């Protein structure tokens, strides 16, 4: 039964990615960990492959509609995918299995990753629920490049740790710094997520624990979902969708924190 719910979740991941250009990826790790009972570290690796491959199909669809800015996408992706790969290849393996152990607190690597993931989800929910307020001010090219490198490197580290695509962080950056229209920012975001996630997954591709049969089935269902999402995008009120999904992500983040630190 849990496997059926997991595959339904895979369809939902793709659906949300197709509708919003981001957001769906934050569901991937919770579904893998809590529904399919996969180890959190392995789940973040799976998430990178699932989200990256699914986003590639979405980006291709948007490219043929003229909604992907390839040049801007590559510029934005370079600092983030370097940070993703370094995080997966060198930083994550060096996090100790037990981080803090006292009489009242046991913080393991798995708990840390899920708690950090929940915090990222809280920021994702906030970005979906807050009213857009972008101040497009003129900045020098030097400051623009510095901001771009710093912000996208941070995004890369976050993606590397939690396995989420980071669309909720990338889209505002594309609108604010690259001044792309929202629809083009969504399409370009999928392109960047594809690069970040799949390059990040290279750090885990040789892991013998990876169940490739399961991964391909789950990813295939998610790809079906993204095609459905892209098709439905024209019929659905995007603003209302983001608000509703934002509250759902907020509830999920709260559940993860509660489960990791209060459930025995």
Q: pLDDT tens across 59-73, in order?
A: 998 899 898 999 999
Name the band, by pLDDT with cuts 50, 70 and 90, for residue 252: confident
The predicted model scores a pTM of 0.84
CA dist., res. 12 & res. 31, Å (int):
10
Give the pLDDT of residue 144: 65
Q: For residues 144 and 177, is the Cβ–Cβ distance under 8 A?
A: yes
Give ∠ CA 38-96-159 in degrees, rounded to 5: 60
Give the pLDDT of residue 22: 65
Give the pLDDT of residue 263: 57
Q: Is the Cα torsion angle 236, 239, 242, 246 positive or negative in sign? A: negative
Task: Give mean pLDDT, residues 128-137.
Answer: 62
Position with higher pLDDT, 1 vs 15: 15
Position with higher pLDDT, 238 vs 44: 44
Give the pLDDT of residue 264: 47
Nearest to 14 by CA among 58, 49, 48, 45: 58
Q: Which residues of 246-258 are buried (b: 16+ CB within 10 A; e: fewer)?
A: bebbbebbeebbe
Give the pLDDT of residue 221: 96
Answer whether residue 184 shows pLDDT above 60: yes
Answer whether residue 116 shows pLDDT above 70: yes
Q: Which residues of 164-200 are buried (b: 16+ CB within 10 A; e: fewer)?
A: bbbbbbbbbbbbbbbebeeebbbbbbbbbbbbbbbbb
Task: Give mean pLDDT, residues 254-261.
Answer: 88
Task: Give mean pLDDT, residues 149-160.
Answer: 87
Q: Is the Cα torsion angle 151, 153, 156, 160 positive or negative in sign? A: negative
φ/ψ (deg, to 5) at 38? -95, 140
CA dist., res. 169 & res. 127, Å (int):
8
Answer whether residue 52 shows pLDDT above 60: yes
CA dist., res. 118 & res. 131, Å (int):
22
Answer whether residue 50 shows pLDDT above 90: yes
CA dist., res. 11 & res. 25, Å (int):
12
H/E stretch holding 99 reads: strand 98-101
Of the listed ranges 12-21, 45-54, 79-88, 216-225, the least confidently predicted one is 12-21
Give the pLDDT of residue 23: 65
Q: Which of the residue ranges 10-19, 27-36, 122-131, 135-144 has the most confident prediction, judged by mean pLDDT?
A: 27-36
Give the pLDDT of residue 223: 93
What rounded mean pLDDT belongs to the chain? 84
Nearest to 123 by CA among 67, 172, 87: 172
Name the band, by pLDDT with cuts 50, 70 and 90, for residue 210: very high
- Residues in Cβ contact with 172 at an 8 Å cutoff, skipping those fewer than 6 apart: 127, 134
Give ∠ CA 47-48-53 in degrees, rounded to 5: 100
- Residues in Cβ contact with 20 at an 8 Å cutoff, skipping those fewer than 6 apart: 167, 186, 238, 241, 242, 245
Position with higher pLDDT, 256 vs 148: 256
Nearest to 136 by CA among 176, 185, 182: 176
């Amino acid at each position: 039964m849990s496997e059926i719910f997991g595959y339904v979740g895979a369809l939902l991941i793709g659906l949300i990615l197709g509708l919003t250009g981001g957001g769906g990826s934050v569901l991937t790790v919770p579904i893998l960990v809590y529904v399919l009972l996969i180890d959190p570290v392995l789940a973040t690796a799976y998430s990178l492959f699932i989200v990256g491959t699914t986003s590639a199909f979405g980006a291709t669809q948007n490219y043929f509609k003229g909604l992907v800015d390839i040049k801007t996408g590559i510029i934005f992706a370079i600092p983030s995918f370097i940070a993703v790969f370094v995080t997966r290849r060198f930083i994550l393996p060096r996090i100790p299995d037990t981080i803090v152990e006292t009489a009242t607190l046991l913080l393991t690597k798995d708990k840390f990753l899920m708690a950090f993931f929940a915090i990222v989800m809280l920021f994702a929910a906030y970005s979906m629920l807050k009213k857009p307020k972008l101040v497009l001010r003129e900045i020098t090219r030097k400051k623009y490049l510095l901001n771009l490198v710093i912000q996208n490197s941070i995004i890369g580290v976050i993606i590397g740790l939690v396995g989420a695509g980071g669309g909720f962080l990338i889209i505002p950056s594309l609108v604010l710094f690259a001044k792309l229209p929202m629809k083009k920012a969504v399409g370009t975001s999928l392109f960047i997520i594809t690069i970040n996630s799949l390059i990040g997954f290279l750090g885990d591709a040789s892991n013998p624990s990876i169940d490739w049969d399961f991964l391909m089935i789950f990813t295939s269902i998610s790809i079906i979902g993204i095609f459905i999402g892209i098709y439905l995008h024209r019929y659905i009120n995007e603003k209302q969708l983001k608000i509703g999904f934002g509250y759902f992500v907020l509830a999920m983040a709260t559940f993860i924190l509660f489960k990791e630190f209060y459930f025995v």
